Structures are given as structure tokens and as C-alpha cells.
């Protein structure tokens, strides 16, 4: 009789996403060959090259304690315990995805000591990771993709056609807004309007798109040649679109809203003297909303001035992610998924070593701040 190999929980295996009916399991390195990942009635097989990888499990039962079994073709089998949360009440209405901080045109990552790719790659990592993120988000079921700024690295002329190539490759509609890296005309790049026009991309400071059960806004908080953000130029139009919506609203912006009068970490976001009145104004205009931003390249979620705000990290540096949203009658769920395509996750997993390894602790955030359900508020 064949004995089962020993079961263990290696430190390099984690449930990166746990949603009401799905999960994503990620690992840093398992033996090369097919890896069978199973949970409840779902089994998927992923081909491993021996490096980092991830597998998505769908059709899991909500509100259930489950065991995930990870079985490489050789060596130990592994087991993880997960608990799926409840499904939000009401009908499921729509799905969309976000990406931010693509930094197309960048060739390195790090604060002081920069990590670079080995010479000779066909497609540089920012484009490789963004294309893979878009494809995986669409396979997940996104009906719309929202890009939340820092789409180019330095506003350089050659970076805008890369953005055009990326969005033209989407099979679903998209909205985009800009970040500080997209407005560096004097520092490093060209005039942003010229870059957008050369690439044939239509841009509006406040753009919106309605899906069943949700209005999606993308609004520009960037200031030319400045790293921090502002809400001055968008507040009135955002509030008008919030007021006129007969459905809840998802607002995508680039900069995070500072918690304190003095920023306590880099990069600086939207100062409190603008951010606090902005949050009060948008909550009054339509209390059924959530805000999501990028800029920090990390995953976080918190409620400030009665508004749920999430920060979602970049597809191109550790942990290398996109954000997914499922809209229900009663609320919205967020999931954050690692970009699992081998050529993307091989790079992003290396970048966990950035900033002397501190990046691996700073950027991923906690599971319950990546994957959560938010029930729409009814009171202002």
C-alpha cells in the first residue's frame, strides 16, 4: 500500500486571496512539474518551473472552513486551512478590475540599490506584468478595467505608445486616470497632453462608466511635476456624478489621502487640508461609495470620515497584483490577486528583496485588507 507523503505547511505557501467563493494560493518555490491544488470540489493543476507560482480556486462554498491541499509531483504534499466569508446578500450584478502603478518604461525597482532584470528579456517587466494582469483579470470575469495612474514611468515620449498597446489589447472597455509619474513634463518627460494625443488616447480629468449596480469614476489627482496630489480640480465634477447616480459609486484615484497633517511615509499623497473636506463632500453627495487608490504600491484598506478607502499595489513589484471587484445589490467585494503568469511572478517575487527586504513586509498588507466585503451605507 502506497503511503501518502508527509503533509506540512511550508513558510513559502500562503492563501493570498480568500473570497466568499474563491481563493488564490501562492508559493515561492515548489518542485518543478505539475502541482495539483484542490479544495472542496475544485481541483486545478498548475505547471511549475520550480519557482514562484499561484493557483486560483473557484466555486468554493461560502462561509465554510476548508482545507486546501497542494500536491507537487514530487516531495511533500502541503495543507492550508482557509475560511471563506459569507456572500453579500442580493443578486450579483457586475465585475470589474483595477490596476495602478504600471510604470511602463521603467527598467529597475528599489529605493537606493536598484534591482534590474537580466539583459536580453523580450518584453520589459512593467509591460509583461501589466499585460498578464489584464489578461488574468479578464479571465476572472472583469467586464471593465480601471487604470489608476502612474501608467508611464517618466512621461517620456516612448512610454505612451506602450500604454496604447496595453489598452488596445483589452477585450473589455477601460477607464484610466493619471498619476504623478504621468505628469513630469519638465523633470523628465514630454507634455502629458501631447503624449496622450500621440498615442491616440482620449483623456478626461473625470471619466465615468456605468455597469449594472455600480457607477465607476476615474479622477485625476495629479499636479504637473509634483509628487503629491490634489482634489481641487476634481471635487465639483466628482460630486455632481455622485449625486446624479442612481447606483453606488466606485471612485478610482491615484493618490492616497493622508492620515495626518505631516506625511509619515513616502510617497506623499493628498494633504489632509484637502483630503478631509473632499471625503466629507463625496460622502454627503452619495454615501453609497468606496474609493480606491494606488501610488503607495502597497495593499491597505481603512474607513476614513465614513468612506471606505483601499490602496492596491502595483502589478510590477512585489507582491505584483491587480484588484478585482464583484458588485452585489447589497455591497461590493474586493479581492487582490497576484499576477500568476510565470514570467511576471518570477520578477515580482524577486523584488520582495527591495529596500533591504523591508518591502516584503510593507507592501503585501494583511489578507483582510486585501479581500473584504463592504456593505453600502445608507446614511450620510
| Site residues for Fe ion per CB under 5 A | 101, 150, 179-180, 295
DSSP class of residue 87 equals P
Q: Which is nearer to Fe ion, 57 or 166 (CB)?
A: 166
Q: How far is the CB of 260 from Fe ion (least distance, A)?
A: 19
Closest CB to Fe ion among 179 and 323? Answer: 179
Closest by CA to 67, choosing from 54, 86, 80, is 80
Q: Which helix (H) or strand (E) holds 130?
A: helix 125-140
Q: Where are the beta strands (DSSP E) in 19-76?
A: 23-27, 33-39, 42-48, 53-57, 65-72
Cα–Cα distance list, 180 to 173, 293, 367 (Å): 24, 13, 28
Q: Please answer whether residues 225 and 235 qualify as being in contact, where contact means their C-beta atoms are separated by less than 8 angstroms.
A: no
* Closest distance to Fe ion from the beta carbon of 22 (Å): 28
Nearer Cβ to Fe ion (180/326): 180
The least distance separating Fe ion from the CB of residue 296, rounded to whole angstroms, comes to 8
Instruction: Output the smallest distance, CB 267 to Fe ion, in A.
Output: 6
Q: What angle do CA 92, 93, 97 make, to 5 degrees?
A: 100
- CA torsion sign for 266, 300, 271, 151 is positive
To the nearest whole angstrom, how small is the minimum distance from the Cβ of residue 297 to Fe ion? 6
21/101 with CB nearer Fe ion: 101
Report the interhelical angle of 342-350 vs 125-140 (nearest 10°): 120
CB nearer to Fe ion: pick between 46 and 312: 312
In whole angstroms, the minimum distance from the beta carbon of 109 to Fe ion comes to 11
Amino acid at each position: 500500500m502506497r503511503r501518502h507523503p508527509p503533509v506540512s505547511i511550508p513558510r513559502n505557501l500562503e492563501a493570498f486571496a480568500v473570497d466568499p467563493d474563491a481563493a488564490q494560493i501562492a508559493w515561492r518555490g515548489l518542485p518543478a512539474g505539475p502541482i495539483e491544488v484542490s479544495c472542496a470540489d475544485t481541483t486545478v493543476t498548475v505547471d511549475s518551473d520550480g519557482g514562484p507560482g499561484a493557483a486560483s480556486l473557484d466555486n468554493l462554498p461560502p462561509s465554510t472552513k476548508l482545507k486546501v491541499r497542494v500536491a507537487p509531483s514530487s516531495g511533500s504534499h502541503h495543507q492550508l486551512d482557509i475560511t471563506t466569508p459569507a456572500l453579500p446578500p442580493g443578486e450579483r450584478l457586475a465585475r470589474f478590475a483595477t490596476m495602478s502603478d504600471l510604470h511602463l518604461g521603467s527598467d529597475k525597482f528599489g529605493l537606493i540599490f536598484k534591482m534590474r532584470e537580466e539583459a536580453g528579456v523580450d518584453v520589459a517587466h512593467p509591460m509583461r506584468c501589466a499585460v498578464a494582469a489584464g489578461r488574468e483579470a479578464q479571465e476572472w470575469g472583469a467586464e471593465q478595467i480601471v487604470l489608476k495612474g502612474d501608467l508611464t514611468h517618466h512621461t517620456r515620449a516612448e512610454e505612451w505608445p506602450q500604454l496604447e498597446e496595453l489598452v488596445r489589447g483589452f477585450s473589455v472597455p477601460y477607464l484610466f486616470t493619471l498619476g504623478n509619474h504621468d505628469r513630469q513634463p519638465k523633470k523628465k518627460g514630454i507634455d502629458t497632453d501631447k503624449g496622450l494625443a500621440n498615442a491616440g488616447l482620449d483623456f478626461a480629468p473625470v471619466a465615468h462608466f456605468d455597469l449594472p449596480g455600480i457607477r465607476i469614476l476615474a479622477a485625476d489627482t495629479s499636479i504637473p511635476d509634483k509628487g503629491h496630489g490634489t482634489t481641487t480640480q476634481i471635487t465639483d465634477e466628482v460630486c455632481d456624478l455622485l449625486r446624479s447616480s442612481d447606483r453606488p459609486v466606485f471612485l478610482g484615484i491615484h493618490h492616497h489621502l493622508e492620515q495626518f497633517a505631516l506625511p509619515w511615509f513616502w510617497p506623499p499623497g493628498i494633504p489632509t487640508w484637502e483630503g478631509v473636506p473632499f471625503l466629507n463632500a463625496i460622502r454627503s453627495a452619495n454615501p453609497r461609495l468606496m474609493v480606491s487608490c494606488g501610488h503607495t504600491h502597497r495593499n491597505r484598506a481603512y474607513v476614513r470620515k465614513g468612506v471606505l478607502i483601499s490602496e492596491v499595489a502595483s502589478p510590477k513589484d512585489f507582491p505584483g497584483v491587480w484588484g478585482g471587484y464583484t458588485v452585489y445589490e447589497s455591497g461590493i467585494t474586493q479581492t487582490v490577486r497576484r499576477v500568476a503568469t510565470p514570467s511576471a511572478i518570477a520578477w515580482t517575487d524577486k523584488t520582495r528583496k527591495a529596500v533591504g527586504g523591508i518591502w516584503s513586509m510593507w507592501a503585501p498588507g494583511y489578507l483582510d485588507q486585501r479581500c473584504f466585503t463592504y456593505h453600502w451605507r445608507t446614511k450620510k
